[in-house]
Amino acid sequence: MSFSSKPLTFAIPKGRILDEALPLMARAGVVPEAEFHDKKSRALSFAVEGSDMRLIRVRAFDVATFVAHGAAQAGIVGSDVVEEFAYPDLYAPVDLNIGHCRLSVAEPVDAGDTATASHLRVASKYPHLTHKHYEAKGIQAEVVKLNGAMELAPMLGLSGRIVDLVSTGRTLKENGLRETEVIMQISARLIVNRAALKTDPRVGELVEQFRKMVAEKGEA
Ligand SMILES: Nc1ncnc2c1ncn2[C@@H]1O[C@H](COP(=O)(O)OP(=O)(O)OP(=O)(O)O)[C@@H](O)[C@H]1O
Ligand SMILES: O=P(O)(O)OC[C@H]1O[C@H](OP(=O)(O)OP(=O)(O)O)[C@H](O)[C@@H]1O
């Protein structure tokens, strides 16, 4: 099958990035069929208006997995996910300037002085970035991998600290935690599979459409 007869697959996360991503995608000419907005629909794959592209809606971490393996040729995902997996076959050429937040270390507001600890236990959804952060500081960190609600870990004695995403800081505050270090600033990226970018001209065209749209938005 030639590339032109095979639909281009574009992966998008199903949660909070989506609301900000849809208007950007529309400006870049990627508009999903009406069923995409039907909350009762159980479909996971959707046609794109006036195009042979199809959209798939998956978990944020899985967007990177689909694109890195070439099962999807392009997608939108936070730079936290790009950096956590560091897939060699995944290229993130466009910063979409949406989904801003930061990856931070937090600990209980009433924690004693732990600044000199040489061994720590940290709960996080980001084991790679957490290890990297502490390795650079010469601290041995044992990471307990959680998939959400990290804020519960210190109060239940699972870990002394957490590494999690922070936006308004409200979740930390309401769970008796305070931010102690910012590891990285995050925004959503257009990602593509490197091999697909080299071999399928539609992927390069898509990158250019998003680049142009972001540049125009910046000027507006
Ligand atoms: N306050 C925030 N908390 C969490 N993620 C945020 C926040 N602000 C922006 N983000 C971005 O949103 C991404 C999560 O995207 P989204 O919620 O659309 O995915 P999801 O598929 O629902 O995620 P999950 O698999 O965690 O359910 C994060 O990876 C991050 O880049
Ligand atoms: O600083 P804030 O504005 O309070 O936002 C941060 C919270 O948002 C995210 O959770 P999310 O709602 O995505 O749920 P999750 O725990 O399933 O990741 C993140 O993991 C924090 O818990």
**Could you identify the atom of ligand 1 that is nearest to the CA of residue 60?**
21
Are 127 and 170 found together in one domain? Answer: yes
pLDDT tens column, 106-148: 999 998 766 666 679 999 999 999 999 999 999 999 999 999 9
In angstroms, the CA 192 to CA 114 distance is 41
pLDDT of residue 184: 98
Residue of 101, 124, 130, 171 best suited for mutating to test ligand 2, as the one with most atoms within 8 Å of CB: 171
pLDDT of residue 2: 55
pLDDT tens column, 156-195: 999 999 999 999 999 999 999 999 999 999 999 999 999 9
Environment class of residue 147 by beta-carbon count within 10 Å: exposed (0-12), middle (13-18) or buried (19+)? exposed
Are 7 and 95 found together in one domain? Answer: yes
Domain residue limits at 73: 3-99+187-219
**Residue 65 — pLDDT band, cuts 50, 70, 90?**
very high
- Ligand 2 lined by 84 (C-beta under 6 Å): no
- Ligand 1 lined by 21 (C-beta under 6 Å): no
The CATH number linked to 39 is 3.40.190.10
pLDDT of residue 111: 87
pLDDT at residue 5 above 70?
no
Tokens 């890195």 sit at which residue? 68
Are 49 and 116 found together in one domain? Answer: no
pLDDT of residue 112: 75
Residue with the smallest CA separation from ligand 1 atom 12 is 17
Are 83 and 167 found together in one domain? Answer: no
pLDDT of residue 3: 56
pLDDT at residue 4 above 60?
no
Distance from chain centroid for Cα 68: 13
Backbone φ and ψ for 166, nearest 5 degrees, come out as: -130, 135
Backbone φ and ψ for 13, nearest 5 degrees, come out as: -75, 155
**Residue 218 — pLDDT band, cuts 50, 70, 90?**
confident
**Could you identify the atom of ligand 2 that is nearest to the CA of residue 169?**
1
Are 88 and 158 found together in one domain? Answer: no
Q: How many domains does the chain fold into?
A: 2
Residue with the smallest CA separation from ligand 1 atom 4 is 165
Q: What do you get for the CA distance between the two ends of the chain, in Å? A: 42
- Ligand 1 lined by 41 (C-beta under 6 Å): no
Average pLDDT over residues 91-108: 97
pLDDT of residue 86: 95
Radius of gyration of the chain (CA): 19
Are 176 and 199 found together in one domain? Answer: no
Are 215 and 181 found together in one domain? Answer: no
Are 8 and 62 found together in one domain? Answer: yes
Are 82 and 160 found together in one domain? Answer: no
Instruction: Report helix, strand or coil for 219.
Output: helix
Are 28 and 109 found together in one domain? Answer: no
Are 177 and 119 found together in one domain? Answer: yes
Residue with the smallest CA separation from ligand 1 atom 7 is 101
- Ligand 1 lined by 13 (C-beta under 6 Å): yes
pLDDT of residue 82: 98
Are 106 and 168 found together in one domain? Answer: yes
Average pLDDT over residues 17-37: 94
pLDDT of residue 6: 85
Above 0.90 for ipTM, yes or no?
A: yes
- Ligand 2 lined by 167 (C-beta under 6 Å): yes
- Ligand 2 lined by 149 (C-beta under 6 Å): yes
Of 130, 131, 140, nearest to 165 by C-alpha is 130
